[in-house]
Amino acid sequence: MSSSKNNESKGFFSAMTSGLTKFGNAMHRSVNGLLGYEGVEVINPEGGKEDAEEEAQRGRWKQEERDSYWKMMHEYIGSDITSLVTLPVIIFEPMTMLQKMAELMEYSYLLDLADECEDPYMRLVYATSWAISVYYAYQRTWKPFNPILGETYEMVNHGGISFIAEQVSHHPPMSAGHAENERFTYDVTSKLKTKFLGNSVDVYPVGRTRVTLKRDGVVLDLVPPPTKVNNLIFGRTWIDSPGEMIMTNLTTGDKAVLYFQPCGWFGAGRYEVDGYIYNAAEEPKILMTGKWNESLSYQPCDLEGEPIPGTELKEVWHVADVPKNDKFQYTHFAHKINSFNTAPKKLLASDSRLRPDRYALEQGDMSKAGAEKNSLEERQRTEKRQREAKGHQFAPRWFDLTDEVTPTPWGELEVYRYNGKYTEHRAAIDASGSVDEVDVKSLEFNPWQYADLSAE
């Protein structure tokens, strides 16, 4: 349960949400468990090996594979394992980090609403709901593939959005992304920092995310909470993101501060999010509450954070229907991201869809997926040696490294800026009127083809 000091700082409504509601949920679930009700999710936040055998039967792990993996990873406890070790394909999902970045666009209509809205506080309600909506997809416990240097992912057929992401650095692993439609632009430079703790991994989003609403030129800055992957090797793997998400309107000084409740025993508090929209004077204007895996709602509040009498709690976002018993726990949108049927014409050969390891894993061929993954990683090492021998340095095609270094709660970040070339590239394809008659699945994955190698 939250401390009294924290509850006092958040007002009565937040105190009730983070304190009494959590306690009530814990009691309800524990009573249900004692009564023998089915479907109760019992979580040990500290991890453990109690259900390892059951989980091994449910997933891809075999007990001997878990034991072998544990022995291999034990020496890395306390380390950042983002690019330190070669991980077995058994823990991966058939999607790359670049594609996972694109999942933020599933509920992009919320940014459209934010741009249309004249109320500055409701703008933040819509925009913050958009930022939280992706966490339903982020609860998947499989790891996405690390992109190859120069790898890309593009999407041009969702809500009028043109999206491009590129792996701009290998050491440290960094990605950059840009999305745009008639209502907003989205720009991100992403660098994950991890800390391996044995049976869990802490993931720190050392990144910068900016959204510009086009109508009034409002610029929003997003700082997400860290994420923790629990029971990585032993037990039932699950993901939690305890901490604060802060979205700041850099134009006006207004901000949203939403608190992701940490998961406790018996699942108490899991998924719960609550907080406020504040004006530039740090006075609460709108309260928000909900669960990041279900829905979010809002209600006007007074200066004490209490709901204003006569107002109602209104839903602003609700998770869309998802496939039942999906093999990879994908949403319909995630399947769309992976599908060759949604690939734009004249697909870049560097696109994540074309990765042979990703495609083999999607088809269920674990042996081929592992071999292809090792082959790609070796080709990447070879390309690096050859490039360095020639005195060349890699430069991304669609993003430029700036002189800006921005601070984050978890370290400093070099910022990449979208250079506009992809927009020109797509416009030229559309203007030509040509139709790509090549079966995209037959294209060879080649991120090196587009590398811009210039002498130092």
**CATH for 134:** 2.40.160.120
Q: Within a domain: residue 223? A: yes
Say if 11 falls within a structural domain: no
Q: Is the pLDDT at 1 greater than 80, yes or no? A: no
Burial bucket for residue 117 (CB in 10 Å: 0-12, 13-18, 19+): middle
Q: Please tell me the predicted confidence (pLDDT) of residue 411.
A: 87
Identify the residue with better confidence: 416 or 432: 416
Residue 239 banded pLDDT, cuts 50, 70, 90: confident
* pLDDT higher than 90, residue 415: yes
Q: Read off the pLDDT of residues 337-349 as tens digits, 9 standing for 90 and up.
A: 999 988 998 999 9
pLDDT of the residue at 70: 56
What is residue 55's predicted lDDT score, i.e. its pLDDT?
Answer: 44
% of the chain residues with pLDDT over 90: 55
Measuring CA to CA, which residue among 210, 189, 217, 227 is closest to residue 412?
189
Predicted confidence (pLDDT) per residue in 363-381, tens digit: 999 999 999 999 999 999 9
What is the pLDDT, as a whole number, of residue 270?
A: 82
| CB neighbour burial string for 4-40, b if at least 16 within 10 angstroms, e if fewer | eeebeebbebbbbbbbebbeebbeebbeeeeeeeeeb
Stretch 110-130: mean pLDDT, rounded? Answer: 98
Give 42's pLDDT tier (boundaries 50, 70, 90).
Answer: very low
Most confident stretch, 7-21, 25-39, 54-68, 90-104: 90-104
Q: Which of 371, 346, 363, 364 is nearest to 435 (CA)?
A: 346
What would the mean pLDDT of 235-243 be, rounded to a whole number? 80
Instruction: Of 247, 246, 229, give the one whose Cα is nearest residue 238.
Output: 229
Local confidence band at 83 (pLDDT 50, 70, 90 cut-offs): low
User: What confidence score (pLDDT) does residue 192 get?
Assistant: 79
Look at residue 31 and give its three-state secondary structure: helix
Model confidence at 21, pLDDT cuts 50, 70, 90, reads very low
Mean per-residue pLDDT over the chain, rounded: 81
Is 173 contained in some domain? yes
**pLDDT of 101 over the 70 cut:** yes
At 299 the pLDDT is 98
Q: What is the DSSP string of 369-393?
A: HHHHHHHHHHHHHHHHHHHHHTTEE
**For 226-235, how does the pLDDT look when each residue is reduced to its tens digit (9 = 90+)?**
888 877 666 6
Residue 3 in domain: no
Asked whether residue 28 is domain-assigned, the answer is no
| Lowest-pLDDT choice from 135-139, 265-269, 452-456 | 452-456
Domain residue limits at 449: 33-434+444-455
Residue 258 has pLDDT above 50, yes or no: yes
Give the best-scoring range by mean pLDDT among 121-130, 357-366, 376-385, 432-441.
121-130
The model carries a pTM of 0.82
CB 101 within 8 A of CB 163: no
Residue 75 has pLDDT above 70, yes or no: no
pLDDT at 62: 60
**Which of 64, 63, 136 has the alpha carbon at shortest distance from 326?**
136
pLDDT tens digits, residue range 276-334? 999 999 999 999 999 999 999 999 999 999 999 999 999 999 999 999 989 888 999 99
- Give me the pLDDT at residue 214, please: 98
Is 155's pLDDT higher than 50?
A: yes
User: Is the per-residue pLDDT at 14 higher than 90?
Assistant: no
Q: Give a three-class secondary structure readout of 124-184.
A: HHHHHHHHHHCHHHHCCCCEEECCCCCCEEEEEEECCEEEEEEEEECCCCEEEEEEECCCE
Domain count across the chain: 1
Q: CB neighbours of 140 closer than 8 A, spacing ≥ 6? A: 93, 239, 328, 329, 330
Residue 328, pLDDT score: 87
Whether 274 has a pLDDT exceeding 70, the answer reads yes
Residue 231 to residues 146, 210, 227, 416: CA-CA distances in angstroms?
A: 21, 33, 13, 34
Residue 2 inside a domain? The answer is: no
| Residue predicted with more confidence, 358 or 231 | 358
User: Residue 344 has what DSSP assignment?
Assistant: P
- Position 179 in a domain: yes
pLDDT classification of 188: cutoffs 50, 70, 90: very high
